Each structure stands twice: as structure tokens, then as C-alpha cells.
Amino acid sequence: MEQNLIVEKNKENVASMFDDIAPSYDFLNHFLSLNIDKGWRKKAVKILSSYTPKSILDVATGTGDLAIAMLKLNPEKITGIDISKEMLEVGKKKITEIGKQQIIDLQQADAENIPFAENTFNAVTVAFGVRNFEHLDKGIKEIYRVLAVNGVFLILEFSRPKNNFLGWLFKFYFGQILPLIGRLFSKNKVAYKYLFQTVQQFPSGDEMKNKLSSLGFKNVSAKTLSMGIATIYTASK
Ligand SMILES: C[S@@+](CC[C@H](N)C(=O)[O-])C[C@H]1O[C@@H](n2cnc3c(N)ncnc32)[C@H](O)[C@@H]1O
């Protein structure tokens, strides 16, 4: 059953929540996931490697972890966009530290109004971002627009495990433990409760695949990770 989110999901609230948690985001992400998130991003990069994309758009790039991981693909250019200025600031610092500012360019922009021409990118990626879009369909349609014909769209997102016991464990960890630790370590007291709620209410598995197909994508497929805690969806234009 749908419950009201603890924070209303509009762009201003989402941007300001991520602005708040930006300084602790990377630490908490890796700590709370026991570094499993790094392996998931690696898997995403491996899947993309068969497409050898030259120009990549990473939507909701946040602090740039997926953008940085995609350097492995040796693309000419990676553009990362996000609505949170503070998340981007953390990302820019990391990119400067590794001297890759010529390849990775981070810009403040909205997934629902992407400031690029149609058919621009060979690959578009979103890691743990689509769940936060105010209007999911609008964001996905924009991604479709800027993706080149035959280009690949990859989403890495939490999903809900089908196994009952794992589903219970997942709910307990996400619903009870994670918000508690999040409250202790990050400036925003409700962000990690919001995370749990959005995961509970977001299209997962076949529902997400059907959405991508209905919005025009071809070759839609889903690969579950860590027994269904996360899923990588791929599709082409
Ligand atoms: C959980 S973080 C994920 C960041 C990064 N992709 C990662 O893998 O760690 C979600 C990000 O989505 C961004 N976001 C939410 N709605 C957005 C939108 N409409 N356009 C662009 N970015 C958005 C937030 O600002 C936040 O940085």
C-alpha cells in the first residue's frame, strides 16, 4: 500500500535533502552497504563495456561515483548532471583529485529537462537516481530523447527481493537500521527514512521493464544483483 513519503518528492525538497547529506554521502553509502554498492557499479561498467560508448551522460550523477567508474570504458567524454549543487561539488573535487576534469564534466541540470540535443549520447546511465525523479516518465522520456539511436540506457537501482526471508531482512535493514545510522551521521534527519520509503514504492523488476518498453525502449532486460536487492536494467533506443 502507498504511504505518504516523509518528504514530499518535489525537486526543491530532493535537491535540498541531497545538498544536506552531500558531505557524508560517500562515507555512508559505502559504510551502510558494506561496500557492496562499489561492486554493483563495477558490474554496470562491465555490462557497458560491450557497447564501447564514446560519449556518456550520467544522470543524477551525485558525487560522481558511477561517472568515475566509467573511466574504465575509455570514453571521449562523460557528462554528469544532477540537481544538487552540493553533491556535484563533492564530485568535482574527486574528479580534480584524479586529474580527469578534461573527460568528466559535471553540470547542474534536471533529468526532466536535459539541456542537450536529441540523439547526443551513445550511453545514458542512472545509478540510484530514477527513484528520486519527481516525474519518472518525464525523466525517462528526456533520457530517450538525448540517447543516440542504438545507444544503451542503463539503470542501476534498488529493487525488492522476491524471497520472503530476504525481503523481510531487507525491509528490516532499510526500514530500521539504516535510518537510525543515517540520522546519527548525516545532517538531514529524515533522508534515510525517505530512502526506504522510495524503495518500497518504486517500480521494481517486471514493472520497471514494462515502463521502459511502454516509453519506447527496445531490448529491455533486467539483471538482479545480490539476490534482488538491486537490479541493473538495460534498454536501447
Ligand atoms: C542516491 S543519489 C545517487 C548518486 C549517484 N548516481 C550514485 O550512484 O551514488 C541520487 C541523486 O539523484 C539526484 N536527482 C534527483 N532528482 C533529480 C533530477 N530530477 N535531475 C537530476 N538529478 C536528480 C539527487 O540530487 C542525488 O544526487
Mean local confidence (pLDDT), 139-168: 93
Query: How far apart, in Å, are the Cα atoms of 190 and each of 26, 87, 124?
Result: 17, 17, 30
The answer to whether the CB of 86 is under 6 A from ligand 1 is: no
Nearest-atom index, ligand 1, CA of 156 = 8
Residue 137 located in a structural domain: yes
pLDDT of 149 strictly over 50: yes
What letter does residue 216 receive in the DSSP assignment? T
Nearest residue (CA) to ligand 1, atom 8: 127
Residue 216 located in a structural domain: yes
pLDDT of 192 strictly over 80: no
> Of 10, 12, 13, 14, which is best to mutate to test ligand 1, by the most ligand atoms within 8 angstroms of its C-beta?
14
Residue 58 located in a structural domain: yes
Q: Which three cell numbers stand for residue 150?
A: 542504438
Residue 107 located in a structural domain: yes
The answer to whether the CB of 128 is under 6 A from ligand 1 is: yes
Residue 190 located in a structural domain: no
Residue 62 located in a structural domain: yes
Q: Do the beta carbons of residue 151 and residue 122 sit within 8 Å?
A: yes
Per-chain mean pLDDT for the chain: 91
Residue 226 located in a structural domain: yes
Residue 106 located in a structural domain: yes
CATH number, position 114? 3.40.50.150
pLDDT of 165 strictly over 90: no
> Of 83, 125, 143, which is best to mutate to test ligand 1, by the most ligand atoms within 8 angstroms of its C-beta?
83
| Number of compact structural domains in the chain | 1
pLDDT (tens digit, 9 = 90+) per residue, 81-115?
999 999 999 999 999 999 999 999 999 999 999 99
Q: Do the beta carbons of residue 49 and residue 73 sit within 8 Å?
A: yes
- Per the confidence metrics, is the pTM higher than 0.75? yes
Task: Name the residue range of residue 59's domain.
Answer: 34-160+201-236
